[in-house]
């Protein structure tokens, strides 16, 4: 099955660019590729397991509980290989029986979903990422010790839902999900007594466990995070909560009110560090970030780039319409619901400079295969040199 992975996801151009110290010149185009980009180990492993599962059980129905990773091309290839998605319309866990095989995605699944599948006695193939499992261990430790799990993540993301469910394994386990610094500050304000219960529920009514009591359950807090979030923000939120607990209960009693274990995904951090280093080395005309629009880690790479220069988050090479038109996801603001993948796509014009050398910073999210990155760079060269 390694041959199928190489055929579907390998790129000779990307190999060439790596051999050229991640800088590739073609006519007036100069591409500077971040030194860490694309498929991480956890994603590569999950996709490989999915291919192997389809090959090993050719005569059995093979299901995925949802997207294996947040990349539409990868998921489309798995559908073509005959893997069914329980998240698709008309599909559900109820149709699974003991003769079927079900793949758990890299994000993991909730405790409830796992229990449903176990009761059906189907064969399970678990591709949950090791970094996600590390977060789960921390959450279970927090709740076992009587701490509320404060999770920096996106409330409706598969990984965050799965992580939150781990808090409920312990008796009276509790969790609260915060999206960003602003929501974390509301939590801090509540702990300090600067806002009341009504204001808390207005902000977090759907983001906490059943029966949550903010007065009692925010006295002891343990920090965790969705592995694909902006890591600098996760660290900042941790420091905000830590300082708030010191202000409220004093330095000497901090350990009884705040805990934080290392749950930062090294692959996510490496890709964010690499793009920060790349953008610090020289000036660029623009940045192109490649990956699924519903990919959290890709969107955070786009956020980092957009803070420094004109940035286009694109799904694949088809988004490059011409040298004067590009389709992309805006990097700022929350996406409205109902758009494909939850994210709107817009068209921009005159995006590619027409005179002189064009220096483009390129990176890609952890769910983006080399083949897609190579196709994008090839089309960039075609339009830049037209």
Active-site residues, by number, are 159
Of 105, 15, 75, whose CA–CA distance to 6 is shortest? 15
Q: Position of tokens 């990773």? A: 69
**Would you give the distance in Å from CA 349 to the centre of its chain?**
29
Of 328, 305, 309, 306, whose CA–CA distance to 317 is shortest? 328
Dihedral sign from CA coordinates of 341, 347, 351, 352? positive
Q: Any residues with CB less than 8 A from the CB of 308 and at least 6 apart, and which? A: 279, 287
- Total Cβ atoms within 10 A of residue 384: 20
CB 229 within 8 A of CB 179: no
Three-state secondary structure call for residue 319: helix
Supply the DSSP symbol for 24.
E
Three-state secondary structure call for residue 290: strand
What are the C-alpha distances in Å from 171 to residues 6, 57, 71, 174, 184? 47, 39, 37, 9, 26
What are the C-alpha distances in Å from 229 to residues 102, 178, 263, 268, 320? 27, 11, 11, 8, 27
- SS3 percent helix, strand, coil of the chain, rounded to 5, is 45, 20, 35
* Residue 210 exposure: Cα atoms within 13 Å on the Cβ side: 3
CA end-to-end span of the chain, whole Å?
Answer: 39
Measured CA to CA, the distance from residue 93 to residue 323 in angstroms comes to 46
């Amino acid at each position: 099955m390694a041959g199928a992975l190489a055929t579907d996801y390998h790129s000779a151009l990307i190999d060439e660019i790596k051999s050229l110290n991640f800088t590739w010149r073609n006519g007036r185009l100069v591409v500077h590729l971040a030194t860490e980009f694309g498929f991480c180990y956890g994603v590569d492993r999950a996709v490989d397991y999915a291919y192997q599962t389809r090959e090993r059980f050719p005569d059995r129905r093979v299901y995925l509980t949802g997207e294996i990773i947040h990349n539409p091309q990868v998921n489309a290839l798995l559908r073509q290989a005959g893997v069914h998605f329980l998240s698709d319309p008309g599909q559900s866990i109820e149709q699974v029986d003991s003769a079927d095989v079900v793949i758990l995605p890299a994000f993991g699944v909730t405790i409830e979903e796992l229990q449903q599948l176990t009761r059906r006695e189907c064969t399970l193939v678990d591709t949950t990422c090791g970094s996600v499992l590390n977060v789960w261990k921390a959450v279970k430790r927090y709740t076992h010790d009587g701490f509320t799990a404060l999770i920096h993540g996106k409330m409706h993301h598969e990984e965050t839902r799965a992580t939150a469910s781990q808090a409920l394994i312990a008796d009276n386990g509790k969790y609260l999900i915060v999206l960003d610094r602003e929501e974390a500050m509301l939590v801090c304000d509540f702990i300090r007594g600067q806002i009341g219960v009504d204001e808390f529920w207005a902000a977090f009514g759907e983001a906490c466990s059943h029966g949550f009591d903010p007065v009692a359950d925010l006295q002891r807090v343990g920090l965790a995070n969705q592995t694909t979030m902006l890591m600098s923000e996760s660290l900042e939120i941790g420091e905000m909560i830590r300082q708030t607990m010191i202000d409220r209960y004093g330095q000497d009693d901090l350990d009884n009110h705040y805990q934080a274990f290392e749950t930062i995904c090294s692959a996510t951090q490496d890709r964010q560090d690499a793009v920060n280093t790349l953008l610090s080395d020289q000036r660029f005309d623009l940045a192109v970030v490649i990956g699924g629009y519903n990919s959290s880690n890709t969107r955070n790479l786009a956020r980092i780039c957009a803070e420094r220069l004109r940035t286009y988050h694109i799904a694949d090479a088809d988004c490059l319409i011409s040298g004067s038109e590009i389709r992309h996801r805006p990097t700022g603001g929350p996406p409205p619901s109902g758009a494909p993948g939850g994210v709107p796509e817009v068209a921009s014009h005159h995006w590619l400079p027409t005179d002189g050398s064009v220096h483009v910073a390129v990176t890609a999210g952890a769910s983006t295969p080399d083949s897609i990155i190579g196709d994008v760079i090839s089309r960039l060269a075609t339009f830049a040199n037209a």
